């Protein structure tokens, strides 16, 4: 079954403005699994999403269990490589039981569980990770402007320290 037929190409277009995507299915002893992969590159920035779903059919009548493990790998780089590059990854898991009527229902269910978890992970990047980066950066280096008095005090302190270290050079 092609990725386009299963609707994952539409998902890729909607959320990744193109990018690359692949879908693989395989059989397990008492279940089946699939891997859904997305990659988007823009300039020097990269977003990789790896979703692996194990599906156990008929756990309760027409219910199937979907065990999803998703990993996002993000690389953010400035256009000038010497300035900044940040990268990292994180993984989340989710397990749900959903009703299944036919094979097409599995495709819809897999797409929905991936979309839900990926959206939560995207939100985590915005609120937790970017917020934490801002907090750490602010603690390491303040953005506040120095008052004239603070500048003068700093200049005096630096001059005194520098003068003490260079007095032996004058002899």
According to the model, what pLDDT value does residue 166 have?
55
Per the CB < 8 A criterion, the answer to whether 68 and 51 are in contact is: yes
According to the model, what pLDDT value does residue 6 have?
63
According to the model, what pLDDT value does residue 55 have?
94
DSSP state of 79: S
According to the model, what pLDDT value does residue 72 have?
94
Q: Taking the chain (171 residues) in consecutive chunks of 10 residues, what is each chunk's mean pLDDT?
A: 64 82 91 93 89 90 93 84 77 94 87 92 80 71 72 75 62 55
Distance CA(45)–CA(14), nearest Å, equals 19
**Which structure tokens are listed for 30?**
């008492």
According to the model, what pLDDT value does residue 50 have?
96
Distance CA(123)–CA(118), nearest Å, equals 9
According to the model, what pLDDT value does residue 29 have?
92
Q: What are phi and psi of 123, to 5 degrees?
A: -60, -35
């Amino acid at each position: 079954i092609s990725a386009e037929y299963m609707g994952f190409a539409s998902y890729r277009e909607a959320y990744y403005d193109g990018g690359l995507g692949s879908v693989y299915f395989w059989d397990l002893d008492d279940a089946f699994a699939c891997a859904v992969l997305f990659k988007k590159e823009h300039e020097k920035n990269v977003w990789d999403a790896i979703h692996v779903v194990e599906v156990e059919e008929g756990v309760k009548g027409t219910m199937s269990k979907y065990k999803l493990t998703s990993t996002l790998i993000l690389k953010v780089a400035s256009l000038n490589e010497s300035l900044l590059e940040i990268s990292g990854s994180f993984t989340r898991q989710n397990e749900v039981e959903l009703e299944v009527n036919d094979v097409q229902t599995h495709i819809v269910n897999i797409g929905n569980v991936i979309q839900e978890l990926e959206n939560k992970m995207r939100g985590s990047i915005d609120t937790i990770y970017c917020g934490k980066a801002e907090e750490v950066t602010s603690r390491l280096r303040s953005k506040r402007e120095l008052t004239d008095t603070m500048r003068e005090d700093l200049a005096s302190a630096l001059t005194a320290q520098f003068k003490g270290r260079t007095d032996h050079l004058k002899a």
